[in-house]
């Protein structure tokens, strides 16, 4: 029996059927270093498992109303206030590729529509620890609608520092 189970696991591993941790898991992002960015969308890849949008950050400072972002109640319940207290602005003119939640979650969480080039997106996100210019948002704002991107309490990220 043990040999049969081992053979099945070995076969599944060879076929790629075993679950693996993807690059977009929270552990690949610095959850201790939340950033604020806002700017125009330059490209959109709207596909599963995770849509990606690229944003040209237009601000290098926190605007006076940054903390009045529309935060969904479900995100507030996950301790998002602690993330907001640690937010720092991303550098201006930087391009950021944002790894979004799966499309079905975005729709369920109130995403008003698929973003398109030229749209303005605001985000509170966590930079990747291995890919420059890549981040995973906890919140995005499109058309004045705040859409959570986080469904669980933040795990410790790759930096090992206390999380946002």
Binned at pLDDT 50, 70 and 90, residue 164 comes out as: low
Q: What are phi and psi of 84, to 5 degrees?
A: -60, -35
The C-alpha atoms of residue 28 and residue 49 are separated, in whole angstroms, by 16
Three-state DSSP at 95 gives strand
Compute the mean pLDDT over every residue in the chain, rounded to the nearest whole number. Answer: 83
> Taking the model in full, what pTM does it have?
0.81
Report for 11-20, 21-30, 107-116: range of highest mean pLDDT: 107-116
The C-alpha atoms of residue 140 and residue 121 are separated, in whole angstroms, by 7
Average pLDDT for 52-64: 91
Three-state DSSP at 45 gives strand
Q: Which residues pair with 97 in a beta bridge?
A: 54, 134
Residue 34 has pLDDT above 80, yes or no: yes
Q: Which CATH superfamily is domain 26-148 in?
A: Nucleic acid-binding proteins (2.40.50.140)
Cα–Cα nearest to 47, from 104, 96, 95 = 104
Q: Which residues of 114-129 are buried (b: 16+ CB within 10 A; e: fewer)?
A: ebeeebebbbbbbbbb
Report pLDDT for 26: 74
Report pLDDT for 44: 97
CA dist list (Å): 53 to 41, 42, 100, 127: 7, 8, 8, 14
């Amino acid at each position: 029996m043990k040999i049969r189970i081992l053979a099945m696991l070995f076969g599944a591993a060879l076929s790629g059927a075993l679950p693996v941790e993807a690059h977009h898991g929270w552990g690949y992002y610095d959850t201790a270093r939340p950033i604020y960015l806002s700017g125009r969308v330059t490209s959109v890849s709207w596909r599963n498992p995770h849509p990606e949008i690229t944003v040209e950050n237009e601000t290098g400072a926190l605007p006076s109303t940054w903390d009045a972002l529309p935060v969904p109640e479900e995100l507030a319940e996950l301790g998002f206030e602690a993330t907001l207290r640690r937010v720092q602005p991303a550098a201006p003119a930087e391009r950021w590729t944002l790894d979004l939640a799966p499309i079905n979650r975005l729709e369920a969480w109130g995403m008003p529509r698929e973003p398109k080039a030229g749209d303005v997106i605001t985000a509170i996100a966590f930079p990747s620890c291995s890919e420059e210019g890549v981040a995973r948002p906890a919140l995005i704002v499109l058309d004045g609608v705040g859409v959570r991107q986080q469904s669980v309490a933040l795990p410790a990220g790759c930096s090992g520092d206390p999380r946002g």
